[in-house]
Amino acid sequence: MSEAKSSPAVTIKEVAEMAGVHRTVASKILNNSKNSRISEVTRKRVLRVAKRLNFESEKKFSLPDETVSFGLLSGFGYSRKENPFFSDVFDGIAEEAEKRGLNIYVINSAKRLSFRDLYQQEHFLGVIAINPDAGILTQFEVAKLPLVGIEAPHHLSSSLLYSIRTDSFQGAYNSTRYLIECGHRNIHYLGYSNSAGKELMHSLERFEGVAQALKESGLFKGHKPVSVPLEGGNSAHMVGESLGYAAMKKLLGTNPPKPFACVCFADTHAEGAYRAVRESGLHIPGDVSFVGYDNLASSSAMAPPLTTIDVPRYELGKAALTTLLEIEEGHADHDKVLATQLITRSSVLNLNG
């Protein structure tokens, strides 16, 4: 008489799928992890499923904290010279990861990567993406996997996207209101576009803030962003500086009435615009006033020091990793907005006397 074959052992992955949680959540619950912040509701649900499936825990399913990892996806480098904005974001992520004993996989390109395969790796929490676009989000939607996006465009919407951002519209609006309060009436926005001349979404969000402030003051006269196409470069800093330089040259070519003021997409844009103004023989802020965006360390060293919007870059990074852990625990917010602040320096001429 042949011996009956025993059913294959139920895995943690199967328990997690049935309970509707990530496998690392199920692993922590089933191994009675003391360091977990998982809600009691989720814990009870997983234990009920495990009992129903006759799951038997084994030593091999333990989850040492030091083996837990997550991915960080960005198209630019993380050094301060290459990308001064996101190097600070990365510092926030890295410090929080160190505090929690997590490992980071740095992902430079999504083109040759299967996110589904990545998530199948044992003890992998998920992915944080810096400046994700619709193409990146689509890959996660197809794979039915969650994504934490830092400074994702506001128009991106998905039940799988958890956005950590600042309010670009409000920041640019506040910049423009400040210029108006200083007596400026000729105000322009320096942004950037794609090769077809269409303003890119991150830039458009800030332009809309500028336009709203102008409309409320009766100064809007069909303004459009002063933009040049975004092209490749060796670093985010170099790209931003060249965009600002080219946009300012384009604006100066229209011979705008002076004095005038510019709200720049970023501090790096303002650096390039400063250079273009000086080459034309004009003065800052006597002829042209500037407000930047980001409050990079270099902005206070510009001549004159740049008035700008301070973005809590370090806090963006910390909040992103916290959100990734909250997704695992089943209680993450889909949209976290961090406040910005106007930093006034010497790049704006006060026309009120």
| Class of 12-61 in CATH | mainly alpha
List every span in the chain annotated with CATH 1.10.260: 12-61
Q: Where in the chain is the domain with CATH 3.40.50.2300?
A: 67-167+313-338, 168-311
**Residue matched to tokens 């996660």:** 140
Pairing of strands 288-291, 335-338: unpaired
Lowest-confidence region among 78-92, 213-227, 294-308, 327-341: 78-92
**Mean pLDDT lowest among 23-27, 157-161, 275-279:** 23-27
In the numeric block, which tokens belong to residue 158?
Answer: 């998905």
Q: What is the pLDDT of residue 155?
A: 81
Q: Whole-model pTM above 0.85? A: no
Residue 7 has pLDDT above 60, yes or no: no
Read off the DSSP letter of residue 199. B
Q: Which CATH architecture has domain 67-167+313-338?
A: 3-Layer(aba) Sandwich (3.40)
Query: Whole-angstrom Cα distance, residue 77 to residue 80?
Result: 9
pLDDT digits (tens, 9 = 90+) for 179-200: 999 999 999 999 988 776 777 7
pLDDT of residue 321: 95
Q: Which residues, in sequence order, are bridge partners of residue 188?
A: 262
What percent of the chain has pLDDT above 70?
82
Inform me whether the pLDDT recorded for 63 exceeds 50: no
Q: What is the mean pLDDT of the chain?
A: 84
The pLDDT of residue 161: 94
What CA–CA distance (Å, rounded) separates 198 from 205?
13
CATH for 168-311?
3.40.50.2300
pLDDT of residue 61: 34
Q: How confident is the model at residue 66 (pLDDT cuts 50, 70, 90)?
A: very low
